[in-house]
Amino acid sequence: MTHPPKSTLDLPLPGDPSRTERLAEIIRVNQAGEFGAKRIYEGQLAVLGKTSDAAVIQDMLKQEEQHLAKFNALMAERGVRPTALEPLWNVAGFALGAATALMGREAAMACTVAVEDVIGEHYAEQAAILGESEPALKSTIEEFRRDEMHHRDVSLEHGAEQAPAYPVLTTAIKAGTRLAIWLSKRI
């Protein structure tokens, strides 16, 4: 009797990466994303650090640092290399955070909404891919997804939708975030 696969990791198509390669890709891209998010919040705090919004941003930064520490540990534990693009994400993340904060607190919050929307989708897709095959990793991803959705909701409560050109700004940031995910999986 054959048992159904526990996840789509167990149903590769010809030319698909191996299970080990897919798991490494998941961990690598998530570590890169958490690193990028940390840098965005650090950029926002460089501009808004002495405002009433600093505490909210600092709380989100602390959670991103915890997420990053977990993915750093998983990388070490599973022998996964980081993305070669980390130096770029270091600069780009900080620049995005600082630039949106310079546009105003609402634009900084809009940046968070856009990034966290994409990350929420990304984490949901990963949890579905993992299925029952990697329960600890799936649980971590689901927990972090809840945190990211909370960051989005807090940012909406703090006026994100009042940012100048909110639809244009969030669309551009979402596109950039999707590109960063695509690149970090591969490079």
Q: Give the 3-state secondary structure of 69-130.
A: HHHHHHHHHHCCCCCCCHHHHHHHHHHHHHHHHHCCHHHHHHHHHHHHHHHHHHHHHHHHHH
Domain contains 7:
no
Domain contains 3:
no
Query: Distances from the Cα of 173 to the Cαs of 4, 31, 38, 122, 180, in angstroms?
Result: 39, 19, 16, 15, 10
Domain contains 11:
no
Which pLDDT belongs to residue 132? 86
Total residues belonging to the chain: 187
- Which domain, by its residues, includes 122? 19-186
Which pLDDT belongs to residue 29? 95
Domain contains 147:
yes
Please check whether residue 146 is in contact with residue 136, taking contact to mean a CB–CB distance below 8 angstroms: no
Q: Identity (one letter) of the amino acid at 179?
A: L
Which residues of the chain are modeled with pLDDT < 50? 3-4
Rg of the Cα atoms in the chain: 17
Domain contains 8:
no
Which pLDDT belongs to residue 18? 75
In this structure, is the dihedral angle defined by the CA atoms of residues 45, 183, 128 and 81, taken in order, positive or negative? negative
Domain contains 2:
no
Which pLDDT belongs to residue 13? 66
**DSSP secondary-structure letter at 21?**
H
Q: How many domains does the chain have?
A: 1
Domain contains 116:
yes
Which pLDDT belongs to residue 12? 62
Which pLDDT belongs to residue 52? 86
Among 21, 25, 8, 7, residue whose Cα is nearest residue 182:
25
d(Cα 181, Cα 29) in Å, to the nearest integer? 6
Domain contains 6:
no
Which pLDDT belongs to residue 5? 53
The residue written with tokens 């959705």 in the block is 149
